[in-house]
Amino acid sequence: MVEIITEAQKEQFDSEGYLIVKGLFSSEEIEQLKNRFMQIHSEGPIPGYFSPLSEEEAKGDILKMYPRIMHPHKIDSLSMKYLLDVRLFSILTKLLEEEPLAAQSMFYYKPPSAKGQALHQDNFYLKMEPGTCIAAWTAIDPSNEENGGLYVVPNSQHAEIQCPHRADPEKSFTREEVDIPDGLQPIPAILEPGDVLFFNGNVIHGSYPNTSKDKFRRSFICHYAGISTTKAGNFYKPLYKQDGTPVTDIETTESNPCGTEFTQAEIH
């Protein structure tokens, strides 16, 4: 694989826990993804993966009309293609310092007035061991402070996975939230369509509501782990090599560090 990122970018990822790669995907590729997922939305529910409600059923909660799609790679060939994209695997090989395995895909619509997602850590949900996972968060629309773009907390990758507390349901569509460690601050990850934000699975991140009047903040998000992974949450099997070969000899786990309150953590 041809290396796409520099040593300086690798050093930034190691130091701060995240990296933005500008323009990794072309405008044509982003338009293809956008059109495909808007088509999926227009065609309605997909049992087990996508459950949008009608405007009447949603009762004013627009995210119930535009919920995220979980694991679209399992039902959509285009999603699988982008999950396994060689450019992503090239970057991830350098960041992980070993062969990557693909674990998950998601698509977020986030229309105007949609709630945010409370601060959280991805590996609380994916439970990759040893080590952690890495997210590849691809912007489909411009992603900024106005339309509910992502915030990351630099250097929070050094913290352990937290036991979350309940989030504010007026601001977050997810129920679980973690605290920002003393001395650290969230910063906005400003992205243009085709930019990809990579971040460590322990990095604290989240978003605020989309306060724009007419701007979606769509994103295609994938998670990966290294070939040395021996355990994963059961929702994330099988993992895949870049050529699409499934890896099934990984132990599944339901355990987490948080006692009984979060034994059944939300699927991420």
Average of per-residue pLDDT across 79-97? 98
179: nearest Cα among 200, 168, 164 = 164
Phi (first) and psi of residue 79, to 5 degrees:
-65, -40
Average of per-residue pLDDT across 118-146? 97
**Contact status, residue 233 vs residue 133, Cβ threshold 8 Å:** no
pLDDT bin (cut points 50, 70, 90) of residue 254 is confident
User: What pLDDT does 66 receive?
Assistant: 98
- Burial code (b: 16+ CB inside 10 Å, e: under 16) for 127-148 equals bbbebbbbbbbbbbbbbbeebb
In the predicted structure, residue 195 carries a pLDDT above the cut 90:
yes
Average of per-residue pLDDT across 40-54? 95
Which residues have C-beta within 8 Å of that of residue 175, sequence separation ≥ 6?
118, 166, 167, 169, 266
In the predicted structure, residue 165 carries a pLDDT above the cut 80:
yes
In the predicted structure, residue 218 carries a pLDDT above the cut 60:
yes
In the predicted structure, residue 175 carries a pLDDT above the cut 80:
yes
User: What pLDDT does 205 receive?
Assistant: 98
User: What pLDDT does 257 receive?
Assistant: 56
Average of per-residue pLDDT across 24-35? 98
User: What pLDDT does 260 receive?
Assistant: 45
Phi (first) and psi of residue 258, to 5 degrees:
-115, 25
For the chain, the average pLDDT equals 94
Q: Where are the beta strands (DSSP E) in the chain?
A: 18-21, 69-70, 100-108, 117-120, 134-139, 150-152, 165-166, 176-177, 187-188, 196-200, 205-207, 219-226, 231-233, 239-240, 246-247, 251-253
Give, in degrees to the nearest 5, the angle at Cα 59 between 53 and 61: 75
